[in-house]
Amino acid sequence: MRNDLDKCSGSGGPPEIRSHPPQEASGDVKRWSNGKPRLEKPSVLKPRNRKGGRPPKVPGKVKGGKTSGGKAKGAKSGKKSGKERSKSGFHKIPVLPQKGPKASHRKTASLEYEFKHRVIGKAHNIPQQTRKKAFNDVKQICKAMEKHPFNLNSIRSMSEKHIKQYSDMMRNGDVLSQKTGEFLAPSTVYDRVLRACWMYNSMNPGKKLEPRHIGVQKLRIDIHKPVDFGKHPDYAVKREAVHQFIRNHEIYGWLAPGDRLGSTFGLREDERVGTRGHTITRMNGQLCVDKGQGKGYEKVSTKQIRAWYGNGSYVQYVRHVKEGEEYLIPEWAKGSLGRYVEVENREQWAAIKEVREACAANNSKSGRIIPDGMTKKQAEDAVKNSWQAAKKELGLKGRENYAYTTNGDRGHYVQDCCDRGLSDKEIITRMGHFDTDKLDFYRDKAKYK
């Protein structure tokens, strides 16, 4: 049997199995170059994405137990419900009202959305810490303008008459506090009207509407009436007693370096615990910073200043840094508006040195005088509590209650600068403000005109 198979195959191996040639269909058949018939297939145009790369995945094809579109095998098909679309992040962007016959059928945007995204954009002119309160007032104003009796379809339609009517509603009790359900405080009414005037001025360039123009006066002006420290020498004695109480206290003793720095430079509460004693100067036109680590002044760029102190206003104020003059860098400034305060005497240099030594001895992660485990808010509250404890211990009440605060320290610094002949613009810049009218909170109008 083996020999017969060998004879048939013509070799000693297994017999060769040959397939029959395919049967040709009737009619003309297209063939390839090698003679094999060419089978016709229906042409399918695959959709391609916008960039011209691979075609998008087809949900019908199964790949690894799941469809290529990401849907599990055997899952239900169909459109998503409204709740499912909101969970997956597909939110409908509201459309602003448009003119025309079909405008009433379109879905209009809320006034708050229109003002935030179409009027002021990202609100770069609003400090970060003030933005939350500002937008909360904007929200309340826009809600009121959407309802009766205003019924505005666009926030750009808000006029001076609407603001006047809104202020009357707040004062008459038609608009109540959301938390307590009671009448709004006069200070809240003023702040709300002030924010409405700011909105009106933002939408109408060239307009300078103020609350006093519509009959709303600021009632808090007498609460923080400044004290003339030069006219009352006893204030200076009691003020020093308050500082000595804070610096020698067993609980608030760690605030002593920041308290001395704040009293000599007129710093706020948060700046007293956040400042690390860094100074800046200009040498041969190059900015230099001394961090108090024994290395002296080192050349820095504006990019490094932004990275270290975390705000662009420090970069803007470098133009005020003069050649050869040295300036303190207050940190944790209100509204994230940084500035530089010139160092002018030995007392200020001694306070800077004490803060640097306290930061090095503390060896905390933040590099400040704040102990580890204490937050920024807790440190600010500790400063306020230390002043309250000192005034309670010394029995300071009434008019003196304002004189012996951090604002009293700032007022003492402002009056000292005025007595030395500094300009109002220079003083208000050192205090971290822009408007020179705010100097009236720190000095007596009649004395300093």
Interval 318-337: pLDDT, tens? 988 999 999 999 998 876 67
Q: What is the pLDDT of residue 40?
A: 62
Least confident of 140-149, 151-160, 171-180, 318-327: 171-180
Domain termination site, one of 170, 187, 214: 214
Q: Are 257 and 206 in a shared domain?
A: no
Per the structure, the count of domains in the chain is: 2
Interval 337-388: pLDDT, tens? 788 999 999 999 999 999 999 999 988 888 899 988 888 889 989 998 999 8
Q: Are 165 and 292 in a shared domain?
A: no
321 within domain boundaries: yes
95 pLDDT above the threshold of 50: no
27 within domain boundaries: no
60 within domain boundaries: no
Q: Are 252 and 289 in a shared domain?
A: yes
DSSP tag of 336: G
Tokens (6 digits) for 418: 């005025």
Q: What is the largest CA-CA distance in the chain?
A: 136
Burial of 315 (0-12, 13-18, 19+ CB in 10 A): middle
What are all long-range contacts of 306-315, with beta carbons under 8 Å and residues at least 24 apart?
309/338, 310/336, 311/336, 311/337, 311/338, 313/337, 313/338, 313/339, 314/338, 314/339, 314/340
The Cα 56–Cα 233 span in angstroms is: 82
41 pLDDT above the threshold of 60: no
Strand pairing class (341-342; 327-328):
antiparallel
Q: Are 239 and 319 in a shared domain?
A: yes
Q: What is the pLDDT of residue 50?
A: 53
Q: Are 243 and 210 in a shared domain?
A: no
Q: Are 261 and 320 in a shared domain?
A: yes
Q: Quote the domain boundaries for residue 315.
A: 233-441
Interval 201-221: pLDDT, tens? 888 888 889 988 988 887 654
Least confident of 32-41, 299-308, 409-418: 32-41
Beta carbons within 8 Å of 6's beta carbon, 6+ residues apart: 12
Tokens (6 digits) for 17: 């199995």
How many residues would you count in the chain? Answer: 449
Q: Are 191 and 259 in a shared domain?
A: no
pLDDT interval class at 223 (50, 70, 90): very low
